[in-house]
Amino acid sequence: EVEPENFASFINALADNGFVGANVTVPHKEAAFLLCDRHAPMAEALGAANTLWFEGGRLCGDNTDVGGFLGNLDEAAPGWDSRVECAVVLGAGGAARAVVHALLLRGARQCVIINRTPTRAHELRSRLGLGETGAVVVGGWGDLPQHLAKADVIVNTTSLGMPGEPALAVDLSAAPASALITDIVYVPLETPLLAAARARGLRTVDGLGMLLHQAVPGFERWFGARPRVTPDLRALLIADLDGRAAASGERRHG
């Protein structure tokens, strides 16, 4: 874990410290983009990088969150994209850029970005070059109920629900019974948002698959072998997360 004020110095020392690359998570993806010497087309389009590696001594960046997000939904909810009239995206950070881009790639007619600070959401829309096309609508938290009522897909891209963060308090009662709810947070595996969705009988997809699928191209760049996302790999990761959670609990209560 690296604090934002230490992020640039940490990344600039990656090679000297023996790293061949890195994955970057919230809240550093936009900062990582700015530190790269070269960008892959997807990172360039989004202005955010989550995968770093070196070529000829130069730091390169890509954004594999788009593929990770889509790979997770394709695997866990086949056919989810057969008809997406409206998708609601919570948050407007680097991950939200990838999620909105992915949803539009798969044919979502409209994405509604709900963010505490609307200015950030407007910046995201501008970054994607969508302007006032109507494909992306910006709203505040007070607007959420009216948008949930027409949502086919609801995505949390904020850090709310992670350990040490407040729970994401969203009333899903207005969401259609056919809505799909997914959360990019994967610790805990079932976030408060997913638990609330499951209690309502809605389809849910956790964030662990996105973590796995986005990691594939990075691993291949670093080590020259392309891994496959399998049930065994997912089970291995869940066991590791459970072990870390248990150890953390022992430290707190021991």
Q: What's the distance, Cα to Cα, between the start and end of the chain in Å?
A: 24
Selecting among 28, 29, 97, 101, the annotated active-site residue is 29
DSSP label at residue 7: H
Is 150 annotated in the active site?
Answer: no
Alpha helices in the chain (DSSP H): 4-12, 29-35, 41-46, 65-76, 94-105, 118-127, 144-148, 192-199, 208-223, 231-253
Phi, psi angle pair for 121, to nearest 5°: -65, -40
DSSP label at residue 156: E
The position carrying tokens 């408060």 is 192
Left (φ > 0), alpha (ψ -120 to 50) or beta: where does 18 sit?
Answer: left
Q: Please give the positions annotated as active site.
A: 29
